[in-house]
Structure 1
Amino acid sequence: MNLVGTPKELNKTAEYLKSEFEMKDLGKTKFCLGLQIEHCVSGILVHQSAYIEKILKRFGMDKAYPLNTPMIVRSLDVKKDPFRSKEDDELVLGPEVPYLSAIGALLYLAQCTRSDIAFLVNLLARYSSAPTIRHWKCVKDVLRYLRGTTDMGLFYSEKSTNDQVFVGYADAGFLYDPHKARSQTGYVFKNGDTTISWCSTN
Structure 2
Amino acid sequence: AVSLLSRFGSCPTLRHWNGVKHLFRYLQGTKDLDAGYLSDPHQARSQTGYVFTHSGAAICWRSTKQSLVATSSNHAKIIAMYEASRELVWLRNMTGHVLRESGLAVGQEKEEPMIIYEDNAACIAQLKEGYIKGDRTKHILPKFFFTHDLQKAKEVQVVQVRSSDNSADLFTKSLPTSTFRKLVHQIGMRRLKDLQ
State TM-score, norm by structure 2. 0.30
Q: Which has the higher strand share?
A: 1
Largest Rg, 1 or 2: 1
